[in-house]
Amino acid sequence: MKKFLTNLLDWIYKKKCYFCGSSKECVKMCSNCYDEMDYLQIGKDREILGANVYCAGVYSQNLQKLIRGLKYHNQKDLAYFQAKFMYEYWQKILTKKDFYQVVPIPLFKAREKSRKYNHMTLVCEEFCKLTGYEMNLGLVERIKDTKPQYKLNKSQRMDNLENAFKINKHKLLNGKILLLDDICTTGATFENIIIELTKNGLSEITCFATTTTFSDGEARL
């Protein structure tokens, strides 16, 4: 009933595309705007402490607006399209049918309470619906309210994130660990979580970000 009423209201009020303003498809991201997002070349983006890191696209144009809309402007419907973009890339890099427990990068509790949601939890929920994987919200906990990372270099980011995460090993589920984030620049967030997971004897870790701020072939510092 709730879904029916939501669809009815969408039809009455003609939900518009957040990107081009079209109401033709009555969705937050029309197919034309979705198709304008470019994937990176299929394959490993880098390796961090033995863990493979994959990035689906470059942080620019519609993909940048999608991430910022979900993250900062309460456009929660965009979580599905971000997850779909990641899923379509993920399907092309899978070599065997492994099962993963998917861990979205957590927010500090006070920040999540202020924002009222963790954008990566919403993406993770949609990604798990598409893949059939299980979401694990309890394994990694953010226990330090860190500064925004975008103005910091790699060394400063590592210092900023030191001791920022706690591993609740008793929350471990079946399957390999897949860390999910929206943007991977220097990889400092993934690296600090990998360090903590390794300290707790956990391995078989893969990292997957929606985007990187680097283009193909650029050096990762």
Q: What is the pLDDT of residues 13-69, one digit of tens each?
A: 568 999 999 988 989 999 999 999 999 999 999 999 999 999 999 999 999 999 999
- In the predicted structure, residue 136 carries a pLDDT above the cut 50: yes
In the chain, domain spans:
1-36, 37-212
Q: How many C-beta atoms surround the C-beta of residue 159 within 10 A?
A: 12
Helix, strand, coil shares of the chain, percent, nearest 5, are 40, 20, 40
Q: What is the mean pLDDT of residues 164-173?
A: 96
The b/e string for 170-181 (b: 16+ C-beta within 10 A; e otherwise) is eebbeeebbbbb
Q: How high does pLDDT run on average in the chain?
A: 90
Note the pTM of the prediction, 2 decimals.
0.89
Of 12-21, 112-121, 139-148, 175-184, give the range with the top mean pLDDT. Answer: 175-184
Give the pLDDT of residue 219.
44
CATH class of 37-212: alpha beta
Nearest to 180 by CA among 90, 105, 75: 105
- What are the residue ranges of helices labelled H in 15-95? 31-35, 61-72, 78-93
Question: Angle, nearest 10°, between helix axes 119-131 and 61-72?
Answer: 120
